[in-house]
Amino acid sequence: MSRAYTEDTIAAISTPLGEGGIGIVRLSGPQAIAIVDGLFRSPKGIRLRDAPSHTIHYGFIEAGGERVDEVLVAVMRAPRTYTREDVVEIDCHGGIVPLRRVLELVLAKGARPAGPGEFTKRAFLNGRISIDQAEAVLEIVRAKTELGLECAMQRLEGRFSRPIKELRERLLDLLAGIEVGLDFPDYEEEALPRERLLGELEAALAQVEYFLEHGRDGRIIREGLAVALIGRPNVGKSTLLNALLQEERAIVTPFPGTTRDRLEEWVELEGIPFKLIDTAGVREVHDAVERLGVELALKAAEGADLVLFLLDLSEPLTAEDRLIAKRLQGKRTILVLNKADLEKSFSPQEAVVALGIEPEGVLEISAKLGTGLEELKGRLVGLVWEGRLERPEGLFLLNIREKELLQRAKGALKATLADARAGATPDLLATGLEEALAILGELTGENLTEEVIDRIFANFCVGK
Ligand SMILES: Nc1nc2c(ncn2[C@@H]2O[C@H](COP(=O)(O)OP(=O)(O)OP(=O)(O)O)[C@@H](O)[C@H]2O)c(=O)[nH]1
Ligand SMILES: [Mg+2]
């Protein structure tokens, strides 16, 4: 599979553009060293083609006798490189214009512009990393939070692919055992005792289920938990948003109907990203624009993972509060009683009874003074972990593709186990196991089709 990819040499600017334009032009492929050698002049007369692997050289990129940029060039020879091919990195210092010019020059000398993620794709195709490690590279590039980054790093280290590979090995052994039984029916009992077959299948199923279970929070860690702030006008939604963000992000006024549009902001609590959504106050309205805002607010509530339903403690409950309570039926909700710094008009119990809701929790806060906020934050974090006091290191970030494959692997293993229990023929068991193996092979990248590979790498940016 790797041969086609080692024929040409690719090049790209590997650092984000902008900010002074200092950056790296990276090349990978059999011509990488020769191409750069043709453009590089060292004051000491060093030729890159003679340079030992993993050395850095100071000099200039020149074209037509003219200096284009002052550079440091790193020479890394296959196979101990990112792509397992010859890799050259030109560290440019002159800014964006010379950086572009250097790239043009290496392209003119025969390199081809790299596609998105093509360096990482080569690392994968040349067997240096597994597909989930490649995806981890992508995740690291995009990681929004510390925890997301940590999980991505763990994947890069093979935390997920290694146990799947081991599982595959064990199933391959099992299949071999079954096939011995197929080829030599007389030895079947010796080759693979029934208890071992059942035990192995059960263990494999349990492991796949473990991955599904512990990968469940992957989306939350990567994308954040969406929390909508809902309430009638003037209860203090925007004030609470600002207090949680610790900045004046949303406009707050004493007048009802201040927020017209939904506003999204990210806040990180104990490493978990929360997407806070401030919304327009919900009330009976006649103005078309405002009605739109109200509908948007209720839509935000529907789409959110959790709703903070705000009430104003300083005023009696209103028809609007009841209307909102009705619309929030069945939604995971924390009831937030705001303005606790003022004289209270009702108790938490009274509110719950009057509104007829079953919230995950009821908290009294003062968004204005900041009291009760720590408890609210603790509640948010606690809900994410849902009492399964699993440490973050125990989690796997699963993307949709992996989840789907795990589900399918689970189905195949379950069916095979049921067959085995029912005393199915070795033939049938072998077919079931082969199916599970093929699915697991897709997970580790051993069985990926060209199309899937291209789709995965298309998500990368050029230069990675
Ligand atoms: N005393 C007191 N006043 C508060 C508190 N929180 C908010 N307020 C005040 O209540 C008023 C409305 O606050 P906002 O945050 O704009 O309320 P909102 O729910 O976003 O209102 P809309 O955007 O109109 O729906 C402002 O005058 C705030 O200063 C609080 O905890 N205590
Ligand atoms: Mg507001």
Q: Which ligand is nearest to the CA of 231?
A: 1
- The answer, yes or no, to whether any atom of ligand 1 lies below 6 A from the CB of 120, is no
Give, as one character, the DSSP assignment of residue 406.
Answer: H
What is each CA distance from 319 to 198, 222, 258, 283, 362, in whole angstroms? 61, 39, 20, 9, 20
- Global pTM reads 0.49
If you take atom 14 of ligand 1, which residue's CA is the nearest one?
Answer: 236
Asked if residue 104 and residue 14 are part of one domain, the reply reads yes
Q: Is 163 domain-assigned? A: yes
State which H helix or E strand residue 13 sits in.
strand 10-13
CATH number at residue 344: 3.40.50.300
The rounded Å distance from CA 238 to ligand 1 centre is: 7
Mean of pLDDT values over 238-267: 84
Q: Is 168 domain-assigned? A: yes
Q: What domain range is 32 assigned to?
A: 3-127
Domain boundary among 344, 360, 385: 385
Q: Is 392 domain-assigned? A: no
- The answer, yes or no, to whether any atom of ligand 1 lies below 6 A from the CB of 256, is yes
Asked if residue 192 and residue 232 are part of one domain, the reply reads no
Q: Specify burial of residue 453 (Cβ count, 10 A radius: 0-12, 13-18, 19+).
A: middle
Q: Is 97 domain-assigned? A: yes
Per-residue pLDDT tens over the stretch 294-334: 777 888 888 888 899 999 999 999 988 998 999 898 888 99
The rounded Å distance from CA 249 to ligand 2 centre is: 11
- The answer, yes or no, to whether any atom of ligand 1 lies below 6 A from the CB of 370, is no
pLDDT of the residue at 187: 52
Q: Is 463 domain-assigned? A: no
Most distant CA atoms of the chain, gap in Å: 87
Atom of ligand 1 nearest to the CA of 280: 25
Asked if residue 79 and residue 191 are part of one domain, the reply reads no
Asked if residue 228 and residue 205 are part of one domain, the reply reads no
What is d(CA 143, CA 151) in angstroms, rounded to the nearest whole number?
9
Domain boundary among 127, 162, 196: 127
Asked if residue 365 and residue 248 are part of one domain, the reply reads yes
Mean of pLDDT values over 208-237: 78
* pLDDT band of 54, cuts 50, 70, 90: very high
Q: Please say if the pLDDT value at position 161 is more than 80.
A: no
Per the prediction, the chain carries an average pLDDT of 83
Per-residue pLDDT tens over the stretch 82-108: 999 999 999 998 777 788 889 999 999
Asked if residue 194 and residue 58 are part of one domain, the reply reads no
Number of domains composing the chain: 3
pLDDT of the residue at 342: 97
Q: Specify burial of residue 190 (Cβ count, 10 A radius: 0-12, 13-18, 19+).
A: exposed
Asked if residue 231 and residue 152 are part of one domain, the reply reads no
Asked if residue 374 and residue 235 are part of one domain, the reply reads yes
If you take atom 9 of ligand 1, which residue's CA is the nearest one?
Answer: 236
Per-residue pLDDT tens over the stretch 374-417: 999 988 887 766 543 333 444 556 666 777 888 999 999 999 99
The rounded Å distance from CA 348 to ligand 2 centre is: 23
Sign of the dihedral through C-alpha 161, 163, 164, 170 = positive
- The answer, yes or no, to whether any atom of ligand 1 lies below 6 A from the CB of 367, is yes
- The answer, yes or no, to whether any atom of ligand 1 lies below 6 A from the CB of 242, is no
Whether 304 and 334 have beta carbons less than 8 Å apart is answered as no
Give the contacts of 419 (CB within 8 A, at least 6 positions apart). 428, 429, 432
- The answer, yes or no, to whether any atom of ligand 1 lies below 6 A from the CB of 229, is no
Asked if residue 446 and residue 350 are part of one domain, the reply reads no
What does 108-168 look like in DSSP terms, one character per residue?
HTT-EE--BTHHHHHHHHTTSS-HHHHHHHHHHHH--SHHHHHHHHHHHTTTTHHHHHHHH
Asked if residue 291 and residue 246 are part of one domain, the reply reads yes
CATH number at residue 422: 1.20.120.430
Atom of ligand 1 nearest to the CA of 251: 16
Asked if residue 229 and residue 121 are part of one domain, the reply reads no
- The answer, yes or no, to whether any atom of ligand 1 lies below 6 A from the CB of 234, is yes
What is d(CA 123, CA 162) in angstroms, rounded to the nearest whole number?
17
- The answer, yes or no, to whether any atom of ligand 1 lies below 6 A from the CB of 235, is yes
Asked if residue 172 and residue 279 are part of one domain, the reply reads no
- The answer, yes or no, to whether any atom of ligand 1 lies below 6 A from the CB of 258, is yes
Domain boundary among 127, 153, 182: 127
Per-residue pLDDT tens over the stretch 102-137: 999 999 999 998 887 889 888 888 888 887 788 777
User: Which of 320, 386, 395, 325 is closest to 353 using CA atoms?
Assistant: 325
What is each CA distance from 13 to 58, 125, 234, 371, 402, in whole angstroms? 19, 21, 51, 50, 31
Q: Is 132 domain-assigned? A: no
* pLDDT band of 268, cuts 50, 70, 90: confident
CATH number at residue 117: 3.30.1360.120
Testing ligand 1's pocket by substitution, the residue of 237, 239, 315 carrying the most ligand atoms inside 8 A of its CB is 239
